[in-house]
Amino acid sequence: MKILLSPPDVGDLEHEYVMAALRSGWVAPAGPDLAAFEQEVAARVGVTHAVGLSSGTAALHLALVSWGVGPGDVVPVSTLTFAATVNAIRYVGATPHFVDCDPETGNMSPALLEQALSELAASGQRVPVVIPVDMLGKCVDYAPIAEVTQAHCALLLADAAESFGATYGGRSAGSFGDASVLSFNGNKIMTTSGGGMLLTDDERLAAHVRKLSTQAREPVAHYEHAEIGFNYRLSNILAALGRGQLTRLDNMIKRRREWRERYRANFSKSLGVRILGGDDDAQDNCWLTAIVVDPLVSGWTATDLGAAMTEVGVETRPIWKPMHLQPISRGLGGTLDGSAETIFAQGLTLPSGSAMTDEQFASVESVIRSVTVS
Protein backbone atom coordinates (compact mmCIF):
# COMPACT_ATOMS: atom_id res chain seq x y z
CA MET A 1 0.00 0.00 0.00
CA LYS A 2 1.31 3.43 -0.91
CA ILE A 3 -1.30 5.50 0.87
CA LEU A 4 -2.22 4.23 4.34
CA LEU A 5 -5.38 4.75 6.35
CA SER A 6 -3.83 6.54 9.33
CA PRO A 7 -0.05 6.17 9.63
CA PRO A 8 1.98 7.91 12.34
CA ASP A 9 2.83 11.56 11.64
CA VAL A 10 6.25 11.96 13.26
CA GLY A 11 9.08 14.28 12.24
CA ASP A 12 12.16 16.22 13.36
CA LEU A 13 10.46 17.78 16.37
CA GLU A 14 9.62 14.36 17.82
CA HIS A 15 13.17 13.12 17.11
CA GLU A 16 14.48 15.97 19.25
CA TYR A 17 12.10 15.20 22.13
CA VAL A 18 13.03 11.50 22.12
CA MET A 19 16.78 12.15 21.82
CA ALA A 20 16.64 14.66 24.68
CA ALA A 21 14.86 12.08 26.86
CA LEU A 22 17.50 9.45 26.01
CA ARG A 23 20.32 11.87 26.77
CA SER A 24 18.71 12.76 30.11
CA GLY A 25 19.33 9.19 31.31
CA TRP A 26 15.67 8.62 32.24
CA VAL A 27 15.31 5.40 30.31
CA ALA A 28 13.29 3.45 32.88
CA PRO A 29 9.48 3.68 32.87
CA ALA A 30 9.63 6.69 35.17
CA GLY A 31 11.02 10.16 34.72
CA PRO A 32 10.36 13.82 34.12
CA ASP A 33 8.90 13.42 30.61
CA LEU A 34 6.32 10.93 31.87
CA ALA A 35 5.27 13.24 34.70
CA ALA A 36 5.19 16.25 32.36
CA PHE A 37 3.26 14.36 29.67
CA GLU A 38 0.63 13.37 32.23
CA GLN A 39 0.31 16.95 33.43
CA GLU A 40 0.12 18.36 29.90
CA VAL A 41 -2.59 15.92 28.79
CA ALA A 42 -4.58 16.46 32.01
CA ALA A 43 -4.40 20.23 31.51
CA ARG A 44 -5.39 19.98 27.87
CA VAL A 45 -8.41 17.78 28.66
CA GLY A 46 -9.37 19.55 31.88
CA VAL A 47 -9.08 16.73 34.40
CA THR A 48 -7.06 16.66 37.61
CA HIS A 49 -5.34 13.25 37.18
CA ALA A 50 -3.71 11.40 34.31
CA VAL A 51 -1.85 8.07 34.47
CA GLY A 52 0.42 7.17 31.53
CA LEU A 53 0.13 3.49 30.60
CA SER A 54 1.50 1.10 28.00
CA SER A 55 -1.75 1.10 25.99
CA GLY A 56 -5.35 2.21 25.94
CA THR A 57 -6.27 -1.42 26.53
CA ALA A 58 -4.23 -1.38 29.75
CA ALA A 59 -6.08 1.76 30.87
CA LEU A 60 -9.46 0.11 30.30
CA HIS A 61 -8.29 -3.03 32.10
CA LEU A 62 -6.93 -1.22 35.17
CA ALA A 63 -10.03 0.96 35.60
CA LEU A 64 -12.12 -2.21 35.76
CA VAL A 65 -9.64 -3.93 38.12
CA SER A 66 -9.53 -0.91 40.41
CA TRP A 67 -13.32 -0.73 40.59
CA GLY A 68 -13.47 -4.42 41.47
CA VAL A 69 -15.46 -5.42 38.38
CA GLY A 70 -15.37 -9.19 37.97
CA PRO A 71 -17.21 -12.47 37.42
CA GLY A 72 -20.98 -12.11 37.72
CA ASP A 73 -20.92 -8.46 36.66
CA VAL A 74 -22.54 -7.34 33.39
CA VAL A 75 -21.01 -4.40 31.51
CA PRO A 76 -23.07 -2.64 28.82
CA VAL A 77 -20.67 -1.62 26.04
CA SER A 78 -20.91 -0.22 22.50
CA THR A 79 -21.12 -3.09 20.04
CA LEU A 80 -19.60 -0.91 17.31
CA THR A 81 -16.02 -0.68 18.58
CA PHE A 82 -12.53 -2.06 18.34
CA ALA A 83 -12.06 -5.37 20.19
CA ALA A 84 -9.90 -3.76 22.91
CA THR A 85 -12.92 -2.23 24.65
CA VAL A 86 -14.61 -5.59 25.02
CA ASN A 87 -11.43 -7.59 25.67
CA ALA A 88 -10.81 -5.54 28.82
CA ILE A 89 -14.22 -6.60 30.15
CA ARG A 90 -13.33 -10.22 29.45
CA TYR A 91 -9.91 -9.91 31.17
CA VAL A 92 -11.64 -9.31 34.51
CA GLY A 93 -14.13 -12.13 33.94
CA ALA A 94 -17.16 -9.85 33.60
CA THR A 95 -19.79 -10.27 30.87
CA PRO A 96 -20.17 -7.70 28.09
CA HIS A 97 -23.72 -6.70 27.10
CA PHE A 98 -23.66 -5.20 23.61
CA VAL A 99 -25.61 -1.98 23.02
CA ASP A 100 -26.43 -0.81 19.50
CA CYS A 101 -25.87 2.64 18.08
CA ASP A 102 -27.37 5.79 16.71
CA PRO A 103 -27.40 5.02 12.95
CA GLU A 104 -26.12 8.51 12.08
CA THR A 105 -22.99 8.51 14.27
CA GLY A 106 -22.30 4.89 15.25
CA ASN A 107 -22.20 6.02 18.90
CA MET A 108 -24.07 4.17 21.66
CA SER A 109 -27.80 4.91 21.54
CA PRO A 110 -28.99 6.44 24.84
CA ALA A 111 -32.47 4.96 24.31
CA LEU A 112 -31.09 1.44 23.80
CA LEU A 113 -28.79 1.85 26.81
CA GLU A 114 -31.79 2.80 28.93
CA GLN A 115 -33.66 -0.25 27.66
CA ALA A 116 -30.65 -2.46 28.37
CA LEU A 117 -30.19 -1.13 31.91
CA SER A 118 -33.88 -1.52 32.73
CA GLU A 119 -33.99 -5.08 31.43
CA LEU A 120 -30.76 -6.07 33.20
CA ALA A 121 -32.04 -4.54 36.46
CA ALA A 122 -35.38 -6.33 36.08
CA SER A 123 -33.60 -9.66 35.69
CA GLY A 124 -31.52 -8.98 38.81
CA GLN A 125 -28.14 -8.53 37.09
CA ARG A 126 -25.38 -6.50 38.73
CA VAL A 127 -24.25 -3.69 36.40
CA PRO A 128 -21.33 -1.81 37.98
CA VAL A 129 -20.14 0.15 34.93
CA VAL A 130 -21.13 1.23 31.41
CA ILE A 131 -18.55 1.72 28.61
CA PRO A 132 -19.53 3.88 25.63
CA VAL A 133 -17.00 4.56 22.84
CA ASP A 134 -16.35 7.84 20.98
CA MET A 135 -16.65 6.48 17.45
CA LEU A 136 -13.88 7.54 15.03
CA GLY A 137 -13.37 10.80 16.94
CA LYS A 138 -16.94 11.95 17.59
CA CYS A 139 -17.99 12.16 21.22
CA VAL A 140 -20.84 10.05 22.47
CA ASP A 141 -24.02 11.98 23.36
CA TYR A 142 -22.78 12.14 26.96
CA ALA A 143 -25.63 14.12 28.54
CA PRO A 144 -28.31 11.41 28.15
CA ILE A 145 -25.78 8.54 28.43
CA ALA A 146 -24.51 9.88 31.78
CA GLU A 147 -28.03 10.57 33.04
CA VAL A 148 -29.26 7.05 32.31
CA THR A 149 -26.08 5.50 33.73
CA GLN A 150 -26.36 7.51 36.95
CA ALA A 151 -30.04 6.70 37.29
CA HIS A 152 -29.01 3.02 37.41
CA CYS A 153 -26.19 3.71 39.88
CA ALA A 154 -23.47 2.52 37.51
CA LEU A 155 -20.08 4.09 36.88
CA LEU A 156 -19.27 5.53 33.45
CA LEU A 157 -15.98 4.57 31.80
CA ALA A 158 -15.58 6.60 28.59
CA ASP A 159 -13.50 4.96 25.87
CA ALA A 160 -12.02 8.10 24.27
CA ALA A 161 -9.23 6.17 22.53
CA GLU A 162 -10.26 7.63 19.17
CA SER A 163 -11.39 11.11 20.21
CA PHE A 164 -8.46 12.94 21.85
CA GLY A 165 -8.85 16.60 20.87
CA ALA A 166 -12.60 16.38 20.21
CA THR A 167 -15.16 18.22 22.36
CA TYR A 168 -18.80 17.81 23.38
CA GLY A 169 -20.78 20.76 24.70
CA GLY A 170 -17.52 22.68 24.95
CA ARG A 171 -15.86 20.06 27.17
CA SER A 172 -12.95 17.93 26.00
CA ALA A 173 -13.13 14.27 25.13
CA GLY A 174 -11.47 12.41 27.97
CA SER A 175 -13.20 14.49 30.66
CA PHE A 176 -16.50 12.59 30.69
CA GLY A 177 -17.65 9.89 33.04
CA ASP A 178 -15.96 8.68 36.21
CA ALA A 179 -12.85 7.93 34.16
CA SER A 180 -11.79 8.10 30.53
CA VAL A 181 -9.26 6.26 28.45
CA LEU A 182 -6.99 7.58 25.70
CA SER A 183 -4.86 5.58 23.27
CA PHE A 184 -1.59 6.70 21.72
CA ASN A 185 -1.27 3.69 19.45
CA GLY A 186 0.53 4.23 16.14
CA ASN A 187 -2.67 4.70 14.13
CA LYS A 188 -4.39 7.15 16.51
CA ILE A 189 -4.59 10.93 16.11
CA MET A 190 -1.32 11.28 18.00
CA THR A 191 1.04 8.53 19.02
CA THR A 192 3.69 7.42 21.47
CA SER A 193 4.21 4.40 19.16
CA GLY A 194 2.29 2.45 21.77
CA GLY A 195 0.71 3.94 24.84
CA GLY A 196 -2.42 5.01 26.61
CA MET A 197 -3.69 7.04 29.51
CA LEU A 198 -6.31 6.92 32.22
CA LEU A 199 -7.92 10.30 32.95
CA THR A 200 -10.04 11.05 36.01
CA ASP A 201 -10.89 13.60 38.68
CA ASP A 202 -10.88 10.80 41.25
CA GLU A 203 -7.57 11.01 43.10
CA ARG A 204 -7.92 7.58 44.70
CA LEU A 205 -8.64 5.87 41.39
CA ALA A 206 -5.64 7.55 39.76
CA ALA A 207 -3.33 6.57 42.63
CA HIS A 208 -4.59 2.98 42.63
CA VAL A 209 -4.23 2.60 38.84
CA ARG A 210 -0.70 4.04 39.03
CA LYS A 211 0.16 1.50 41.73
CA LEU A 212 -1.47 -1.41 39.86
CA SER A 213 0.47 -0.46 36.70
CA THR A 214 3.83 -0.89 38.48
CA GLN A 215 3.29 -4.38 39.97
CA ALA A 216 1.36 -3.00 42.97
CA ARG A 217 4.41 -2.47 45.15
CA GLU A 218 3.59 -1.41 48.67
CA PRO A 219 5.39 1.76 49.82
CA VAL A 220 8.06 0.02 51.89
CA ALA A 221 11.78 -0.55 51.31
CA HIS A 222 11.56 -4.22 50.33
CA TYR A 223 9.29 -5.73 47.65
CA GLU A 224 5.93 -6.11 49.37
CA HIS A 225 2.76 -6.98 47.41
CA ALA A 226 -0.70 -7.02 48.96
CA GLU A 227 -2.57 -7.26 45.65
CA ILE A 228 -1.92 -8.56 42.14
CA GLY A 229 -0.17 -5.94 40.01
CA PHE A 230 0.57 -5.41 36.34
CA ASN A 231 3.51 -4.13 34.27
CA TYR A 232 1.59 -1.46 32.38
CA ARG A 233 3.47 1.81 32.94
CA LEU A 234 4.32 4.06 29.98
CA SER A 235 8.05 4.50 29.37
CA ASN A 236 9.63 7.91 29.86
CA ILE A 237 11.12 7.78 26.34
CA LEU A 238 7.70 7.21 24.79
CA ALA A 239 6.20 9.95 26.95
CA ALA A 240 8.77 12.31 25.42
CA LEU A 241 7.52 11.32 21.96
CA GLY A 242 4.00 12.06 23.20
CA ARG A 243 5.03 15.50 24.43
CA GLY A 244 6.36 16.34 20.99
CA GLN A 245 3.19 15.07 19.34
CA LEU A 246 1.00 17.00 21.76
CA THR A 247 2.50 20.32 20.61
CA ARG A 248 1.31 19.43 17.10
CA LEU A 249 -2.09 17.93 17.99
CA ASP A 250 -4.15 20.94 16.89
CA ASN A 251 -2.36 21.10 13.55
CA MET A 252 -2.83 17.38 13.01
CA ILE A 253 -6.55 17.72 13.75
CA LYS A 254 -6.73 20.64 11.33
CA ARG A 255 -5.21 18.53 8.57
CA ARG A 256 -7.59 15.62 9.20
CA ARG A 257 -10.50 18.06 9.19
CA GLU A 258 -9.34 19.29 5.78
CA TRP A 259 -9.59 15.75 4.42
CA ARG A 260 -13.03 15.40 5.99
CA GLU A 261 -14.23 18.54 4.19
CA ARG A 262 -12.75 17.45 0.90
CA TYR A 263 -14.33 14.01 1.20
CA ARG A 264 -17.64 15.72 1.92
CA ALA A 265 -17.26 17.79 -1.24
CA ASN A 266 -16.28 14.70 -3.27
CA PHE A 267 -19.39 12.81 -2.23
CA SER A 268 -21.78 15.78 -2.09
CA LYS A 269 -23.41 14.83 -5.39
CA SER A 270 -23.36 11.08 -4.78
CA LEU A 271 -26.85 9.99 -3.84
CA GLY A 272 -27.00 7.25 -1.21
CA VAL A 273 -23.62 8.18 0.31
CA ARG A 274 -23.21 9.82 3.71
CA ILE A 275 -20.34 10.63 6.01
CA LEU A 276 -20.60 8.65 9.26
CA GLY A 277 -21.09 11.12 12.11
CA GLY A 278 -23.53 13.39 10.29
CA ASP A 279 -23.17 16.90 8.90
CA ASP A 280 -22.07 18.57 12.12
CA ASP A 281 -18.46 17.65 12.81
CA ALA A 282 -17.38 20.98 14.33
CA GLN A 283 -16.56 19.30 17.65
CA ASP A 284 -15.04 16.10 16.21
CA ASN A 285 -11.31 15.46 15.86
CA CYS A 286 -11.96 13.85 12.44
CA TRP A 287 -9.60 10.97 13.30
CA LEU A 288 -10.98 8.80 10.50
CA THR A 289 -13.47 9.74 7.81
CA ALA A 290 -15.86 6.91 6.98
CA ILE A 291 -18.66 6.77 4.44
CA VAL A 292 -21.82 4.70 4.53
CA VAL A 293 -23.12 3.70 1.10
CA ASP A 294 -26.66 2.55 0.36
CA PRO A 295 -26.05 0.57 -2.84
CA LEU A 296 -29.74 0.55 -3.83
CA VAL A 297 -29.49 4.32 -4.23
CA SER A 298 -25.85 4.78 -5.26
CA GLY A 299 -25.57 1.90 -7.73
CA TRP A 300 -22.19 0.89 -6.24
CA THR A 301 -21.08 -0.56 -2.92
CA ALA A 302 -18.53 0.43 -0.30
CA THR A 303 -16.75 -2.80 -1.22
CA ASP A 304 -16.53 -1.66 -4.88
CA LEU A 305 -14.82 1.55 -3.81
CA GLY A 306 -12.51 -0.33 -1.43
CA ALA A 307 -11.49 -2.72 -4.25
CA ALA A 308 -10.78 0.17 -6.64
CA MET A 309 -8.61 1.81 -3.97
CA THR A 310 -6.67 -1.41 -3.30
CA GLU A 311 -5.89 -1.72 -7.00
CA VAL A 312 -3.89 1.51 -6.95
CA GLY A 313 -2.29 0.97 -3.53
CA VAL A 314 -4.68 3.02 -1.39
CA GLU A 315 -5.60 1.47 1.96
CA THR A 316 -9.24 1.52 3.10
CA ARG A 317 -10.98 -0.68 5.65
CA PRO A 318 -14.51 -1.67 6.60
CA ILE A 319 -15.81 0.03 9.75
CA TRP A 320 -15.48 -2.07 12.94
CA LYS A 321 -17.25 -5.39 12.70
CA PRO A 322 -19.81 -5.20 15.54
CA MET A 323 -18.55 -7.05 18.58
CA HIS A 324 -21.78 -9.04 18.96
CA LEU A 325 -21.01 -10.68 15.58
CA GLN A 326 -17.49 -11.76 16.56
CA PRO A 327 -16.69 -15.43 17.18
CA ILE A 328 -15.35 -14.51 20.64
CA SER A 329 -18.80 -13.13 21.56
CA ARG A 330 -20.78 -16.30 20.87
CA GLY A 331 -23.50 -16.73 23.48
CA LEU A 332 -23.32 -13.17 24.81
CA GLY A 333 -26.38 -10.93 24.83
CA GLY A 334 -27.17 -7.43 23.77
CA THR A 335 -29.76 -4.76 23.13
CA LEU A 336 -29.56 -4.52 19.37
CA ASP A 337 -31.59 -3.00 16.55
CA GLY A 338 -29.45 -3.69 13.48
CA SER A 339 -27.91 -0.21 13.20
CA ALA A 340 -24.32 -1.34 13.76
CA GLU A 341 -24.75 -4.24 11.36
CA THR A 342 -25.91 -1.85 8.62
CA ILE A 343 -22.95 0.47 9.22
CA PHE A 344 -20.60 -2.52 9.04
CA ALA A 345 -22.21 -3.83 5.84
CA GLN A 346 -22.28 -0.45 4.08
CA GLY A 347 -19.34 1.43 5.57
CA LEU A 348 -15.76 2.15 4.52
CA THR A 349 -13.05 4.12 6.32
CA LEU A 350 -10.90 6.26 4.03
CA PRO A 351 -7.29 7.50 4.24
CA SER A 352 -7.34 10.26 6.85
CA GLY A 353 -3.76 10.63 8.10
CA SER A 354 -2.34 14.04 8.89
CA ALA A 355 0.91 13.20 7.07
CA MET A 356 -0.91 12.53 3.80
CA THR A 357 0.20 14.96 1.07
CA ASP A 358 -2.08 16.94 -1.25
CA GLU A 359 -0.71 14.90 -4.12
CA GLN A 360 -1.62 11.63 -2.37
CA PHE A 361 -5.08 12.93 -1.59
CA ALA A 362 -5.55 13.88 -5.24
CA SER A 363 -4.95 10.26 -6.24
CA VAL A 364 -7.52 9.11 -3.66
CA GLU A 365 -9.97 11.59 -5.16
CA SER A 366 -9.42 10.28 -8.67
CA VAL A 367 -10.37 6.77 -7.51
CA ILE A 368 -13.52 8.20 -5.91
CA ARG A 369 -14.40 9.93 -9.20
CA SER A 370 -13.84 6.75 -11.19
CA VAL A 371 -16.32 4.85 -9.03
CA THR A 372 -18.93 7.54 -8.36
CA VAL A 373 -19.17 8.83 -11.94
CA SER A 374 -19.46 5.50 -13.77
Ligand X SMILES: *Cc1c(COP(=O)(O)O)cnc(C)c1O
Q: Could you please report the per-residue DSSP string of 210-242? A: HHHHBTTB-SSSS--BSS---B-BPPHHHHHHH
Distance CA 46, CA 328 (A): 36
C-alpha to C-alpha distance for 157 and 6, rounded to whole angstroms: 26
Q: Does position 213 bind ligand X by CB under 6 A?
A: no
Looking only at residues 269 through 328 of this chain, which bind ligand X when binding is defined by CB under 6 A?
Answer: none
Out of 14, 38, 100, 162, name the contact with ligand X by CB under 6 A.
162
Q: Which is nearer to ligand X, 45 or 133 (CB)?
A: 133
- At closest approach, how far in Å is the CB of 58 from ligand X? 7
Would you tell me how many other CB atoms lie within 10 Å of the CB of residue 150? 13
Binding piece for ligand X, criterion CB under 6 A, among 155-163, 198-206, 296-304, 356-364: 155-163
- Rounded to a whole number of angstroms, the minimum distance from the CB of residue 219 to ligand X is 28
CB 175 within 8 A of CB 199: yes
> Does the protein bind ligand X through residue 82 (CB under 6 A)?
yes
Q: Single out the residue of 66, 79, 180, 185 in contact with ligand X (rule: CB under 6 A).
A: 185
Under rule CB under 6 A, residue 165 binds ligand X: no
Q: Which stretch binds ligand X (CB under 6 A): 32-40, 81-89, 121-129, 321-329?
A: 81-89
Q: What CA–CA distance (Å, rounded) separates 26 from 195? A: 17
Q: Could you write out the DSSP letters of every residue in 347-364?
A: EEEE---TT--HHHHHHH
Q: What share of the chain is helix, strand, coil (3-state, %, to 5)?
A: 45, 15, 40
Q: Specify the residue, 113 or 368, whose C-beta has the smaller distance to ligand X.
A: 113
Binding residue count for ligand X, defined by CB under 6 A: 14
Active-site positions read 188
Binding mask 27-66 for ligand X (x = CB under 6 A): ----------------------------xxx---------
DSSP category for residue 79? S
Q: Binding to ligand X by residue 114, rule CB under 6 A?
A: no
- Bridge partners, 129 (sequence order): 155
Contact residues for ligand X, defined by CB under 6 A: 55-57, 81-82, 84-85, 133, 159, 161-162, 183, 185, 196
